[in-house]
Structure 1
Amino acid sequence: MPLVEEIDQRRFNVIDSKVRRFYQIPDSNPGFRRAKIEQYFRHIYHSNAIEGNTLSLAQTRSILETRLAVGGKSLLEQNEVLGLDAALRFLNSTLLRGHHTTITLSTILELHRHVLSFVDPSEAGNLRHTQVFIADHNPPPPDSVLDLMNELVTWLNGDQLSDVHPIELAALTHWKLVYIHPFYDGNGRTARLLMNLILMRAGLPPAIIKLEDRQAYYEHLKTANEGDVRPFIRFIASCTERTIDEYLIAAEPHQIEPEVQRLPSEPSVVKLELPEPYSLSWSAWPFALSSIPTHKPQPPSASRRPIRYAELVDPIELPQVIYLEG
């Protein structure tokens, strides 16, 4: 039985209707194309900023576009930008491919390995072996982390989730991972990536939890840890709806095709298009979503709705990544 009540289901229905409008936006819509590029930079900026990174959005974008360090900021913070970028590339090139349909423990560890690959390679992709302490929550002891992570993966791929809305599933998975706190560092960033993996596999655009949401974000996580996860589910639903609204608003001054012309008649893929290298936006690797046919089955951990499956194309001739610390 899903945790949300009837009023929450109505909220999901509203979001689903906006997703249908989202799929009416043609890929050639100039406002939509700009929004896709901006969302990529914002995703990295906000996910790092929530964790205390002091780089601005403009500085984050500069690092991604030039691969050069910016003055007056720590190399650690700048390497955090490269780490999230590497994790998103991995998500793009591997995790949303059709042959990677099941989210496994290795999937989560590999996501984390990319997140910390430029910051702390010795901890990247490894479960913690020491007790950690964070505000308002005492994570489980280290000797229980492996079992809890295996339980999480088993739950995530279980048939009992077939009727759970993908936003609820993404939110629950996010909270469960943060509750276990399986890593010494990078738990929040990994949880947000995993959440968006689930959303995108379900045909939804990746949600951004913004820096200005930080207090509410942690308060809702605290409430979930105390036994009521419903406010956190509603919070993630709000963030998801806001992201969809931003795409719709960006496309509004331009033409939106009639629904019959845009919605796919058969199962489709949410595909992230990558710009050609060395174009004006070659380094943006935006969250560009478009529908293409597919007949690949959808795992329970992806969505309750069998009409969409997500896949990303490989980046073309990626530039060499420069370690800022070396």
Structure 2
Amino acid sequence: MAGHVWAAAVLEGNPFTYPEVQTLLEGVTVGGHKVSDAEQILRLRDGYTLLRNLVASGEFALTKNVSDALHAVIASGEALEAGHFRGEGASASDVTVHLGERGTHFPPHTEPGGTNLRALHARGLSALEQCDVPFEKASAYFLFAADNQFYFDGNKRTARAMMNGVLLAAGAHAVLVPAQARDEFNETMRDFYADRDATATMELLASCGPRIEPTRARLMRINRALRDPGSGIAP
């Protein structure tokens, strides 16, 4: 638990060290950090506890309801209207992802009621149903959710939890991006947003979990499916 929480926190730029995360999860206050950083650690713990319980009980599923439940815990206090897609609540502001020198990524607009995002999410899930390889389904969902930014914040955190839920429910190893790979992860995500090419990110994720090597042809099919959720992933 502590390893996954710490790894997820590092990717968010949280300054807690692994021993400090262990101490905090044991119920002991750690000095020298912002309260918000400590609270983020505890929310990640609660999110992974929920994920573990859902998998153990057989209740985990790749659905909006499960994603909303995880987001409500993981992003509580950070994201507007946690647990709800953009547009489902009172806020109707759009979101952007700043890519530094690579520019800006513009996800779909926030529309009142969130109907457009729910429909897009449903199409993506339908396409993923055709994929029977757990890692490919899991990592493709992560990138699909990170790309479309269904929530106001906490998208990658929630999408990684969903990705690992798919893997754990299938009896596979979860993906744990180590702290030393943070820069590489962020760079591949910037390239994914800017170039619409998920290959490098998926190869990195594969090296951090199931230890598989998807073929280039499979990665190309997944890339097409991410760009067009209606195109399908299966050969």
Q: TM-score range by the shorter chain?
A: 0.7 to 0.9
Give 1:152's match in structure 2, choosing from 121, 145, 158: 121
Query: Which string of whole-angstrom CA distances, capped at 9 and with x for unpartnered residues, describes residues 263-296 of structure 1?
Result: xxxxxxxxxxxxxxxxxxxxxxxxxxxxxxxxxx
More helix by share: 2
1:142 & 1:210 partners in 2: Cα distance?
33
1:41 and 2:2 matched: yes
Instruction: Report the aligned-residue RMSD.
Output: 2.5
| Higher RCO by CA contacts (8 Å cutoff, separation 6 or greater) | 1
1:121 & 1:231 partners in 2: Cα distance?
28
2:46 & 2:18 partners in 1: Cα distance?
18
The aligned counterpart of 1:161 is: 130
Give 2:35's match in structure 1, choosing from 72, 75, 80: 75
SS in structure 2 at match of 1:142 = coil
Superposed counterparts of 1:252-271, under 5 Å: none
State the shift of 1:242 in Å.
Answer: 5.9
> Is the CA contact (8 Å cut-off) linking 2:67 and 2:162 kept in structure 1?
yes
Give 1:113's match in structure 2, choosing from 53, 67, 72: 72
Higher-Rg member (1/2): 1
> Is the CA contact (8 Å cut-off) linking 1:196 and 1:207 kept in structure 2?
yes
Q: Tell me which stretches of 4 or more aligned residues in structure 1 moved more than 4 Å.
A: 157-160
Task: Normalising by structure 2, report the TM-score.
Answer: 0.76
1:236 and 2:196 matched: no
State the shift of 1:108 in Å.
Answer: 0.7
In structure 1, stretches of 5+ residues that fail to align are 1-39, 244-303, 305-326
In the alignment of these two chains, the number of paired residues is 201
> Greater shift after overlay, 199-208 or 219-228?
219-228
> Is the CA contact (8 Å cut-off) linking 1:102 and 1:157 kept in structure 2?
no
> Is the CA contact (8 Å cut-off) linking 1:127 and 1:146 kept in structure 2?
no
The structure-2 alpha-carbon separation of the partners of 1:175 and 1:112, relative to structure 1 and needing over 3 Å to count, comes to: same
> Is the CA contact (8 Å cut-off) linking 1:41 and 1:57 kept in structure 2?
yes
Task: Normalising by structure 1, report the TM-score.
Answer: 0.56
State the shift of 1:222 in Å.
Answer: 2.9
State the shift of 1:233 in Å.
Answer: 1.7
Return the letter of the residue paired with 1:65. E
The aligned counterpart of 2:228 is: none
> Is the CA contact (8 Å cut-off) linking 1:105 and 1:150 kept in structure 2?
no
The aligned counterpart of 1:292 is: none
Query: Which string of whole-angstrom CA distances, capped at 9 and with x for unpartnered residues, describes residues 120-141 of structure 1?
Result: 4863212233222222222222
State the shift of 1:142 in Å.
Answer: 1.2
Superposed counterparts of 1:71-110, under 5 Å: 71-98=31-58, 100=59, 102-110=61-69
Superposed counterparts of 1:107-146, under 5 Å: 107-117=66-76, 119-120=77-78, 123-128=81-86, 129-136=92-99, 137-143=105-111, 146=115
The aligned counterpart of 1:57 is: 18
Query: Identity of counterpart residues, as a percentage?
Result: 25
> Is the CA contact (8 Å cut-off) linking 2:62 and 2:162 kept in structure 1?
no
Return the letter of the residue paired with 1:133. T
1:57 & 1:232 partners in 2: Cα distance?
24
State the shift of 1:97 in Å.
Answer: 2.5
> Is the CA contact (8 Å cut-off) linking 2:173 and 2:210 kept in structure 1?
no
